[in-house]
Every structure is written in structure tokens, then in C-alpha cells.
Structure 1
Amino acid sequence: MYKEISSIHNPTIKQLVLLQEKSKERRKKGFFLIEGIREVNLALKSGFELTEVFYCEEIITQDELENLKEVLPDSVSQVIVSEEVYKKIAYRSGTEGLLACAKSKPNSLEDLILPENPLILIAEAPEKPGNIGALLRTADAAGVDAFILANPKTDLYNPNIIRSSVGGLFTVDIATGSTQEVIQFLEARNINCYAAILQEAISYEKQDFTKPTALVVGTEADGLSQEWRTRATQNIIIPMQGSLDSMNVSVAAAILVFEARRQRGFN
């Protein structure tokens, strides 16, 4: 089914703008927007349910459009929008003229399906969408079994997270919960928890990550909360040679998860 929209005052366009700009609206409606050809394709492959796609024929190429139509389920409405309308609903400049509306997933801890010997990356209370996006890219690159946000401060479907994750939001199994809920989840499944903390810690290189493992990182400003300090299996540290005592959270996470992967033989 096709339709066309050429006015930025169209009610559908106004609703899309709200979904793009307001986390409250995304939570209320249970929908979010995906922008870009790669991101839309990754969402489809990962089982996200799309309701509508909006494309601008002045921007998207004919080949890209035909490829998209081949993979779109019949249930997805297709809407042709003018260039003015597309610029109104697009979050970032330079995208390929494609935007989709998708249903949010619940991201419950209980919905995670883990293998027998999981490797999990956990981030506590990251506030910057760019950092969350970078963590998702790291999680995807390392092939972790799950990425968990403890005490999330930012809406997971924030458009800047989708942009900065380059679609990693759709390729990694994600769950959210309070710090207490996440710790209980790990303990109930006998998953060893290694917290990146400066105090009472050993070098990450000396720790065995070959058994069920959760690697936990905090913010550069505040680190991890006291609950992680006291209930972790072991606190670990990344020794640094400079004058500073912290590094970007996604960099620290990458060092830790790839060391775990190295120990596991990258299987």
C-alpha cells in the first residue's frame, strides 16, 4: 500500500517529529524511528517489527529502493514524502532518504536467552547517548552474548544512540534493569561478575574470563556504585601509564571484552 505526503503540517509528520524528539512520546506510543538504509535493514534482520517506511525519491537511489522493497514485509505501509518533509522528519543530515517507524522491544532481563558459558557486557548509568552507541558497537564487534544497561539514564531508542551505534542497537541482545535487578539476575545464573573499579582490584590481564562472565563498567565521572564494589566476584583494573586515572567507557569496555575473547580463543 502506497501513499504520498508533501506537507510538513500533515498529522502523520507531526507525530513522527514527536517520536523523533521526545522520549516520553516514544515510551507512551511504544514506537521509535529508524533512519538510514543500513539501520533499517539491520532492524529487519533482527526481527524488529516495522509499521511504516517513509522514503524520498529525490534522495534514495532506485537500486536502494528496489532492494528495500524486496525485503519489506507486505504489512509495512510505504509512504513517499517530499524532500521538504523528509528534511523535517530526519534526525541527521546526509542520510539516504529512508526512515522507518518500528515497534519498541521490552528489553527485559528475563527475556534474555543466554548460552551455557555467556560473555556479557554491562554498563551502569551511562548518560551520553554517544557513549551508549559506542558501547553497542564494541559489544557487536566482540560478539558478546548480551549487553545490559543498569540504571539507564537515557532512552534506549534515542535517535542519537541509533546513529552512534551504527545499527548496533539491532545486532546485540539488550536488556535493562536496576543495578539490584541486574546483580540478582547474574547471581541467580552463577555468572561471575568483574567490576572495573580502581579500589581493591587486580589487573584485568590476571583474571580468568573463560567461565560465565559479566564485565561491568561505569561512567568516567562517577565510576560504579557501591553495590558493584561489594558484590562483584572480583574488581579489576586496567593499568595506565599516564597521569590520568580514567579513560572513555567504551575504550575500557573494548579492552576488557577483547581480552575475554582472546582467552576464549575468539570462539
Structure 2
Amino acid sequence: MKHITSPHNALIRQAEQLQRKSKARKKEQLFLIEGAREITLAIKGGYQLHTLLVCPEIFNQQEQVSKEFVQAQLGVSKDVEIISVSIEVYEKLAYRSGTEGCIAFAKAKTLQLTDLNLPNNALVLVAQSIEKPGNLGALLRTADAAAVDAVLLADPKCDLYNPNVIRSSVGCALTVPIANASTCEVCEFLRMKEIDLYAATLQTSIPYHTASFKNSSAIAVGTEATGLTDEMRDAAKANIIIPMSGEIDSMNVSVSAAILLFEAKRQRDF
């Protein structure tokens, strides 16, 4: 197995670029996945691994590790190149402490609406113009917990493959069916699929629990600062609101999404 000890190695420099720059990820159609759980979820989510970096001293507390052992532990296919790296190299790349000594290069998906295969009576989450990676990651974790059929990122302002998104989603960014599109394309897609759109907004809204989500439904959430656009609200069958009794009129977007999605699940008897 090839072993890299220099942090100036070309592959390591490439990994640094993929980690730091959205432009590099989009150009090469590659991104990094750090951690055994996240890598395992990526494989389960249908992502194709390109290369796998393993630090033996962290991965299995040994100075060396066999390719067969790594494959067995992570479920990696035999055609993935596995490269051993030194602790110095691994620590240079590791995005967070406490990971299991493995970082994978993975091929990005196209994330097209046409790639989605929705079932009958689908439940969809629409997230419009989410900017913060932490918020997007938390939304995707919520979507996974609710087992939604898809997440549609309308006019996304955050790169799905940003390391912070993957980290904050605990790998769920790699398991949920996701598509990127403009707001116009999302609304048209839902109309063509006969999926009722419900917009979470303060304007002319009904309490969320009075709406029926038993048929094919999409729940749209926006940013705390600006909310949903007029275009999204106008396309909705109804605007819905979560009644609040405190001094503020909004919650974190992932919290709001969780309340709305699990109400839909409750109505469908899970």
C-alpha cells in the first residue's frame, strides 16, 4: 500500500483545496468525507469513492494497516485506492478532532430534479436560499430523521459538499435524496408531480396543524432573516405558521422544519 508522509504531496495539496474551496470542488466534481460513520453513510447513499486516505495509528492503533482490513471495516469496494498517511499528514487534513483516521475523496452527484425517483404520496422538504452550512446540515439531519422522500434546495447559497454541511448533518447530507434547482424550477417540478406545496411563513397563514399533509406534500422553509420569497409563497396551496407564545416570531430553520415534518408524519401515522 502506498504511504504518504509529506504534507506537500500533490494529492494532499489537492485534498486541502477540496476542503477549503467550493470552486475546486465544483471544478473537479470531488469532495472530502471525513470519518468512518460518514464514509459508511456515503456508500449507503450511493456515492462513489475515488480514493481513501487512512492513518493506521488512528484507524486501528497500529503502525500499518492492510487494504483488506480497511475494506472490511468500512465496506469499501475493491476498486477504491487506499493510501496510508502519516499522523502529520492526517492532522493537516482533518477538519475536526476525534475522527477515526480516515478521509475519502468522493465523486459529487449531479443533484438534478430529474434524478429524483419519488414514490406515490411523497413527503418533500424544500429549503430556499439557506446560507449557513450549519443550518443546512441540521436541516438535512432533520430530513433524514423524518425519512422524507427528497430535499429540494431552491436557489441554494451554500455548497452541499462544504465540510461543515457534512459535519453538522452527521453524514445525513449523503443519505437523503437531494436536488438543486431555481425556485421557479422547484415550483414547476412540484406542480407537474401534483405535490401540494405548503409555505412556512408569517404572512396570511393558517396554523400548521390545521393543514392536511396526508396527500403528496412539500413543506417549504426559508432563512430566519428573510423567509420565503413571494414566488414560493404564491406557488403554495397554503401558507402555514407555527404559533408561538414568546417574544420572538421565528425559530431556527431546522427546528421549524422538524415540527412541520413530524406533524406531517403524525398525520400519516408514521
Query: Which of 135, 144, 157 is residue 139 of structure 2 equivalent to?
Result: 135
Q: Give the structure 2 partner of residue 214 of structure 1.
A: 218
Task: Please give the alpha-carbon distance, in whole angstroms, between the structure 2 residues aligned to 1:68 and 1:149.
Answer: 34
Asked whether the 8 Å contact 2:71–2:78 carries over to 1, the reply is no
Measured after TM superposition, the shift of residue 73 of structure 1 is: 1.0
Q: Give the structure 1 partner of residue 84 of structure 2.
A: 80
Matches within 5 A, 1:161-200: 161-200=165-204
Task: Please give the alpha-carbon distance, in whole angstroms, between the structure 2 residues aligned to 1:218 and 1:109.
Answer: 19
Matching of residue 69 in structure 1 with residue 71 in structure 2: yes
Q: Give the structure 2 partner of residue 249 of structure 1.
A: 253
In the alignment, residue 42 of structure 2 is paired with which amino acid? A
Asked whether the 8 Å contact 2:50–2:107 carries over to 1, the reply is yes
Measured after TM superposition, the shift of residue 68 of structure 1 is: 3.6
Compare 249-258 and 64-73 and name the one that shifted more. Answer: 64-73
Measured after TM superposition, the shift of residue 51 of structure 1 is: 1.2
Task: Please give the alpha-carbon distance, in whole angstroms, between the structure 2 residues aligned to 1:211 and 1:134.
Answer: 26
Task: Please give the alpha-carbon distance, in whole angstroms, between the structure 1 residues aligned to 2:106 and 2:146.
Answer: 26
Query: Which of 226, 230, 236 is residue 226 of structure 1 equivalent to?
Result: 230
Q: Give the structure 2 partner of residue 30 of structure 1.
A: 29
Asked whether the 8 Å contact 2:150–2:176 carries over to 1, the reply is yes
Matches within 5 A, 1:94-105: 94-105=98-109
Task: Please give the alpha-carbon distance, in whole angstroms, between the structure 1 residues aligned to 2:154 and 2:244.
Answer: 26
Q: Give the structure 1 partner of residue 148 of structure 2.
A: 144
Runs of 4 or more, structure 1, over 2 Å off, are 62-68
SS of 1:93's equivalent in the other structure is coil
Task: Please give the alpha-carbon distance, in whole angstroms, between the structure 1 residues aligned to 2:69 and 2:201.
Answer: 47
Q: Give the structure 1 partner of residue 6 of structure 2.
A: 7
Task: Please give the alpha-carbon distance, in whole angstroms, between the structure 2 residues aligned to 1:24 and 1:88.
Answer: 21
Query: Which of 111, 114, 120 is residue 110 of structure 1 equivalent to?
Result: 114
Matching of residue 52 in structure 1 with residue 51 in structure 2: yes
TM-score by length of 2: 0.96
Measured after TM superposition, the shift of residue 229 of structure 1 is: 1.8
Task: Please give the alpha-carbon distance, in whole angstroms, between the structure 2 residues aligned to 1:246 and 1:45.
Answer: 35
Task: Give the CA RMSD over aligned residues.
Answer: 1.4
Give 5+ residue unaligned stretches, structure 2: none
In the alignment, residue 45 of structure 1 is paired with which amino acid? K
Task: Please give the alpha-carbon distance, in whole angstroms, between the structure 2 residues aligned to 1:68 and 1:181.
Answer: 42
SS of 1:94's equivalent in the other structure is coil
Give 5+ residue unaligned stretches, structure 1: none
Matches within 5 A, 1:148-159: 148-159=152-163
In the alignment, residue 262 of structure 1 is paired with which amino acid? R
In the alignment, residue 24 of structure 2 is paired with which amino acid? E
Percentage identity across paired residues of the two chains: 56
Q: 1:84 to 1:37 in 2, by over 3 A?
A: same
Compare 28-37 and 38-47 and name the one that shifted more. Answer: 38-47
Task: Please give the alpha-carbon distance, in whole angstroms, between the structure 1 residues aligned to 2:227 and 2:46.
Answer: 34
In the alignment, residue 71 of structure 2 is paired with which amino acid? K
Task: Please give the alpha-carbon distance, in whole angstroms, between the structure 1 residues aligned to 2:20 and 2:233.
Answer: 36
Task: Please give the alpha-carbon distance, in whole angstroms, between the structure 2 residues aligned to 1:44 and 1:236.
Answer: 36
